[in-house]
């Protein structure tokens, strides 16, 4: 079974803090993704990565950065957290040869106060 884990289930941070969200997958998948889920907006892609040290902007990259130093790990960084970044953050991975099926982690509920 593919397993995608995220470092925290719940996180509360203050405005202006630097926030790190970590994601680890154990299936040797090439592709990794970060989404945020907000009511009425569905899942929106923030960043994705096809390989180690490679990254591509998704639909809403502003205010975020990412790091992929190892194949199994993909980090999302909020350089200076703001209240409009309060959201559910979901990490996913997929094989480069798969039928586009992505496997998701359980999510991190981030609250910025």
Partner 1 sequence: DQQVKQNSPSLSVQEGRISILNCDYTNSMFDYFLWYKKYPAEGPTFLISISSIKDKNEDGRFTVFLNKSAKHLSLHIVPSQPGDSAVYFCAAADTGTASKLTFGTGTRLQVTL
Residues that bind partner 1 (CB under 8 A): 4, 9, 31, 33, 35, 40-45, 48, 50, 56, 58, 90, 92, 94, 96, 99-107
- Nearer of residues 43 and 77 to partner 1, judged by Cβ: 43
**Least distance (Å) between residue 100 CB and partner 1:** 5
CA dihedral 36, 109, 67, 96 (to 10 degrees): -60
**Least distance (Å) between residue 43 CB and partner 1:** 4
In sequence order, which residues have a C-beta less than 8 Å from that of residue 58 and are 6 or more positions away? 33, 34, 35, 44, 45, 46, 47, 48
- Nearer of residues 32 and 81 to partner 1, judged by Cβ: 32
Distance CA 23, CA 13 (A): 18
**Least distance (Å) between residue 48 CB and partner 1:** 6
With CA atoms as reference, report the closest residue to 23 among 31, 34, 12: 34
- Nearer of residues 69 and 101 to partner 1, judged by Cβ: 101
């Amino acid at each position: 079974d593919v397993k995608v884990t995220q470092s925290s289930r719940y996180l509360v941070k203050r405005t202006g803090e630097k926030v790190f969200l970590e994601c680890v997958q154990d299936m040797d998948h090439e592709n990794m993704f970060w989404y945020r889920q907000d009511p009425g907006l569905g899942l929106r892609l923030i960043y994705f990565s096809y390989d180690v040290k490679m990254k591509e902007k998704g639909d809403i990259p502003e205010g975020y950065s990412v790091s992929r130093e190892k194949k199994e790990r993909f980090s999302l960084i909020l350089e200076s957290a703001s209240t409009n970044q309060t959201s559910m953050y979901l990490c996913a991975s997929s094989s480069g040869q798969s039928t586009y099926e992505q496997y998701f982690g359980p999510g991190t509920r981030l609250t910025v106060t």
